[in-house]
Amino acid sequence: MNHIYKLHARLLKTGHHNHPLALRRLLLSCSASAPASLSYARSIFDLIAFPDTFSFNTIIRAHADSSPSFSLSLFSKMRMAGVSPDHFTFPFVLKACARLQTGLDLHSLLFKLGFDSDVYVQNGLIHVYGCCGFLDFALTVFEEMPERDLVSWSSMITCFAKNGFGYEALALFQRMQLGGTVKPDEVIVLSVVSAISILGDLELGKWIRGFISRSGLEFTVSLGTALVDMFSRCGCIEESMRVFDEMGERNVLTWTALINGLAVHGRSAEALRMFYEMRNHGFQPDHVTFTGVLVACSHGGLVSEGWHVFESIRNEYGMEPLPEHYGCVVDLLGRAGLLKEACKFVERMPIRPNSIIWRTLLGACVNHNYIELAEKVKEKINELDSYHDGDYVLLSNVYGGVGRWAEKAGVRNSMREKRISKKPGCSLINVNHLIHEFVAGDNNHPQFESIREFLVSMIDILKVVGYTPDISNVLFDIEEEEKESTLAYHSEKLAVAFALLCFKDRRTIRVMKNLRICHDCHCFMKHASDVFEREIIIRDRNHFHHFSKGSCSCRDYW
DNA sequence: GTAGGGTTAG
C-alpha cells in the first residue's frame, strides 16, 4: 500500500491527481494490491468522471474474488453507462459469477458480442458452469474449443472433481498428458491433488506424490499443503504428518490442514497440541484453523478446552466468531450430552441459528435420546429447510432408539407424503487398482452372491463374540428378520466382506462412504477388526473411523 | 491490465 500512497502524493504534488490517465494508473495499482486497499480503489474509481472500459475492467477485477456481487453490479453499471465490455471484461465478470454460482445467462451475451471464441472467456465459462454444477455445459465448451491451454485443462479437471467425477478428472489429466502439447504446472497438479482428495483414494495419492517428485516441479508450500490435506482425506494421517515434517517452509494453511486432518481422524489432543505449537511458531490462526481445533475438541470430548478456544477467538484474537464456530460449540456441548447448555447457547447466540446448527442439535438429541427436544428441533428445521432426508432419518432414529415404533412409522409416512426418499448409502473400495462400488439395497456387483454368502457367515461368526444387530435405527416398520437383513446389506459391510474375500494378506481395508456410518455397522466393524485381525479404516461423510483390535479411534464418541 | 489451485461446523 505504501507505494500507492507515495504515488498518490506525487500526483497531488504535481497537480496531476485528477488526470484520467493518472487516476487509471492509480486505480490499477491499488486494485492489484492487498484486499485492504479495495476501499481506496473504489474511492479512486469514484473520482473518475467518465470511466472507460479499462477502468471498469480494473475495478470489476479487483472485487471479483472478495465481493463478487459488487463486481456484477459494476458490470451492470458499465452496461447502463453504455461502456462496451471487451475481451478482458468477461474473464473478470465470469470469475465473480463463479463465486456466486450464477450468471449462466451471460453466455448468450458474450456470443452476441462475439467474445465466445476467446480462450480466456471460454476458460471462464468452463469454470462458471463447473461451479454451478452444469458439468455437461462445461464439457461442451471444453470439447468444442479449437485450442486449449493449461487453464482450460485445469478448469475442466476441477469441474469434474467438484461435481463428484473424480476418476473422470484423473482420466482427463491422463488425456492431457497423452496429447503431449501442454506440460503440467503447479496449479494443474493442485487440481489433480484436490480431485484425489475428494476421491480419498490412497493408491492415487501415492502416485501423484511420485509424479510431483519426478516432474521436476518445485515443491512449493501450496503443493505441500495440498498433500498434507490429501493424505489425511485418503485415510493416512501418518503420511500427512510425514509430508508436514519434511516441508522446509509452512504457512497458516499448512498448519490448518494438519490440524483439520488430526481432528477428523479422532486425534484431538494432537490437533490441539499442533494449534498451540503453530502459535509458538508465530503463525496467527484464521477462521478455518479455529474450525479445525473446535472440531477436534468436540469429537474428543474436550469440552472445557473447546470452550476456551471459542472464547479466545474474540477475546484473544479480536475476531468475530463465524456461524461454523457457533456450530462447533453446539456440537461440543451436544455430543457431551450437555443438551440444556447447548440449547441455552443456541438461544443466546448473537446470530440467527441456521439449519446446520439445528441439525447439529438434532444429532445430539438422537445420541442422547432427548425425544421431546428432538421434535421441537425438527420443527425449527422444517421452518428453514424441510426437505433434507437426513433429518427425517435422525428423528426416526430417536423414536427407534426408545422403541416408539408408531412414531417412527409416522416419520416414514410424512417422508412419503413429502416425497422425500432416504439417500442410499454407498461405499467405494479400491481393489487391485479397480474401484468397486456398493450401494445399499443394490445387488448389481458381479460377485454379489458370493459376497452376500460370506457376509452372512461373517455375521454369524461375529454374533458368537458378542455382536448383536442393532435394529433400532432401521427406518422402516418391517418384520424383525427383515430389519436384520436390511442392516446386513449396508454398503460398508458389503465392501468390507468383499475386501476380506479379495485380500489374502493382512493389509488395511480402506472404505469411503457417502453417509455417516450407522451404530450397527460401527459395532460390526469393531468386532470384525478383532476377529479377522485387520485394520479397517472407514471414511464417512464427516470423519474417519480406524477400527483395530475390537475398538475404534473415535472411542465411540461420534 | 486477462482466466485455473492448497485449510471451512452437521
Q: State residue A417's pLDDT score.
A: 84
Q: State residue A58's pLDDT score.
A: 95
For residues A373-402, one letter each, b for 16 or more C-beta atoms within 10 angstroms of the residue's C-beta and e for the rest, the string is bbeebbebbbeeeeebeebbbbbbbbbbbe
A294, A306 Cβ separation under 8 angstroms: yes
- Residue A452 placed within a domain: yes
The grid coordinates listed for A378 are 425438527
pLDDT tens readout for residues A111-127: 999 999 999 999 999 99
The partner residues of A436 in beta bridges, in order of sequence, read A429
Q: In the 401-460 stretch of chain A, whose C-beta falls under 7 Å of nucleic acid strand B?
A: none
- Residue A38 placed within a domain: yes
- Residue A388 placed within a domain: no
Closest residue to B5 (CA, C1′): A187
Q: Is the model's pLDDT at A95 over the cut of 80?
A: yes
Q: Is the model's pLDDT at A478 over the cut of 60?
A: no
A383-387, A416-420, A426-430, A497-501: the lowest-pLDDT one:
A383-387
Q: Residue A18: pLDDT band by 50, 70, 90 thresholds?
A: low
Asked if strand B comes closer than 7 Å to A367 Cβ, the answer is no
- Residue A155 placed within a domain: no
| Minimum CA–C1' distance nucleotide for A287 | B8
Q: How far is the CA of A497 from the C1' of B1 (A)?
A: 59
Domain around A28: 1-49
pLDDT tens readout for residues A345-367: 999 999 999 999 999 999 999 88
Q: Is the model's pLDDT at A480 over the cut of 60?
A: no
Asked if strand B comes closer than 7 Å to A467 Cβ, the answer is no
Asked if strand B comes closer than 7 Å to A88 Cβ, the answer is yes
A100, A65 Cβ separation under 8 angstroms: no
The partner residues of A431 in beta bridges, in order of sequence, read A434
pLDDT tens readout for residues A532-550: 999 999 999 989 999 999 9
Q: State residue A419's pLDDT score.
A: 84
- Residue A210 placed within a domain: no
pLDDT tens readout for residues A302-338: 999 999 999 999 999 999 999 999 999 999 999 999 9
- Residue A275 placed within a domain: no
Q: How many CB atoms lie within 10 A of CB A12?
A: 12
The SS3 assignment for A544 reads strand
- Residue A158 placed within a domain: no
Asked if strand B comes closer than 7 Å to A45 Cβ, the answer is no
- Residue A221 placed within a domain: no
Q: In the 208-267 stretch of chain A, whose C-beta falls under 7 Å of nucleic acid strand B?
A: 220-226, 229, 251-254, 256-257, 260
Q: State residue A489's pLDDT score.
A: 87
Q: In the 504-533 stretch of chain A, whose C-beta falls under 7 Å of nucleic acid strand B?
A: none
Tell me how far the alpha carbon of residue A256 is from its chain's centroid: 14
Q: How far is the CA of A222 from the C1' of B6 (A)?
A: 5
End residue of a domain, out of A18, A34, A49: A49
Total domains, chain A: 2
| Minimum CA–C1' distance nucleotide for A334 | B10
Q: State residue A384's pLDDT score.
A: 87
Closest residue to B8 (CA, C1′): A288
